[in-house]
Amino acid sequence: MSDRIPVLLVDDDPDLRAVTASFLEREADQIAVETAPDAAAGLDALADREVECIVSDYEMPGRNGLAFLDVVRERHPDLPFVLFTGKGSEEVASEAVSAGVTDYIQKRGGTERYERLANRIVEAVEKRRAERDAERVIDQFRAVANGASDAILTIDIGGVIRFANPAVESVVGYEPEAIEGEPLTTLIPERHRETVDRYLDAGDGGVDRSEVRFDARRRDGREVPVSMSYGEFVVDGERRFVGVVRDDAGRSQHRAFIEHAGDMVAVLSSDWRFCYLSPSCERVTGHAPSDLLGERSLDYIHPEDRVAVEAGFGELDPDETPPSAEYRFRTADGDYRWLESVGSERIDTGDVEGYVVTTRDVSERKERERTLSRLREWTRTLNYTRTTEEAADLAVEAVDDLVDAGLGGIHLRSGAGERLEPVALGESVPARFETQPSYDRDAPPKARRAAHGSISPASRCGDRAAAAVMSRREVVDQSRVTSSTSWPS
């Protein structure tokens, strides 16, 4: 709305009408005056134009000023109406007040009367505008409150509930009309009342009023976890509070699920920084959640994987398949661990804001995939070997690569079948044994499990286990399959 104040001046004296209009517009720049010679013409002008204030003489042909006021009040109950007369009396003033006049000003005096009249017009119009703005805000508030899923309460300084929206019934079990006029303590168990009173205490400036958590008492006596955020406003000079109360039962269950889940749940800001990390962060990444909060997640991703992660987690589209990526993440000890992350849509709560990402450790799976892939490669290679020795060498190399068995080996029966002779040994065997180990057919059973070769002095300590590992390796020949722990008959 503009600052312009359209005023309708009704007076049967054309000279006085013109002088009054001129002085009013001179005294207050925002006043714009339209004139009418009598009440009938004034009603016509009121029907055709925007008018925010009427200034009327009392004695006029036809309807006098009071009769004019009666008609105006029927059509516009709150429109400012100033009776500006030169022949008034206390009786007329009393009648005018009873009829709902905004003000009563006599024409006697000098030019100061116009200044007084202009000031009164501006004050009356500004007050009406403020009241209408407040009514609009209240109407909007009621519309929002009536459609809200959270309970909304207004509370006076004495702790009495003055307004409750329909959602209050789903949260605490009371219908709005049953809780309005009741003290707020009706909804609060004894043990929480001191805390809530402290939050409502205006003198406690150090309290964060953005969210208060407590257990509310329902009408049936049960208690439910709720959170309440509230603000303060003034009505007719009286302080009031408006609170939004949310049932936190589902939220508490969801938080418990996140905090005890094996996968890590994180919230990332638009610039890839960690805004929230669940407790499982330490198990998955080796970092405590507090160590990563505020850190840029991409800085912990292996440089070779960053481009793929950024591409995979571009703009999140709720209609598309959730984005995912596998990448290497730097752990607290400086090593890299394979992780898999799946994104979700954006959230915005009072606590956190950003994109939800669920992450799990897939290192073992990636290692199995690598092992299977290498096994397929070794199998294809073994299919093209031409000699027993070549196949044995490749088999030992494959075992060392796949299961890190550096002391592995393959032994084949000698031509006479009396001994198992080494045909291929792991890379670590020569460094640990002075002579290559072999197995006699006629040796006692226990001895067959020990290598027939001298262990080098430098590696005697702990190498009995190494010899045992060797003795348990399967022996493979293209035409003979045996084991060093069970001699074939």
312-325 residue pLDDT tens: 876 555 556 678 88
Contacts of 397 (CB under 8 A, 6+ apart): 378
Higher-confidence residue: 253 or 483? 253
- Select from 30, 203, 34, 44 the least CA-distant residue to 121: 30
Query: Is the model's pTM score more than 0.75?
Result: no
* Tally: H helices and E strands in the chain: 17, 20
Per-residue pLDDT reduced to its tens digit, 288-297:
988 898 899 9
Check residue 444 and give its pLDDT. 67
pLDDT tens-digit map of 345-370: 665 554 556 778 888 888 888 888 88
Burial 19-31 (b: 16+ CB within 10 A, else e): ebbebbeebbebb
Query: Do 48 and 142 meet the contact criterion of CB atoms below 8 Å apart?
Result: no
**∠ at Cα 14 (12, 19), nearest 5°?**
120
Using DSSP bridges, classify how beta strands 161-164 and 151-156 pair: parallel, antiparallel or unpaired.
antiparallel
The crossing angle, in degrees rounded to 10, of helices 39-48 and 65-75 is 20
Q: pLDDT tens for residues 31-89?
A: 999 999 999 999 999 999 899 999 999 888 889 989 999 999 999 999 999 998 876 66
Residue 481: its pLDDT value, please?
A: 35
pLDDT, position 234: 74
Task: Report pLDDT for 192.
Answer: 75
Q: Is the pLDDT of residue 475 over 60?
A: no
| All domains in the chain, ordered by first residue | 5-134 (3.40.50.2300), 148-247 (3.30.450.20), 264-361 (3.30.450.20), 368-483 (no CATH)
- Residue 300, pLDDT > 50, answer yes
Q: How far apart are alpha carbons 64 and 161 in whole angstroms?
A: 48
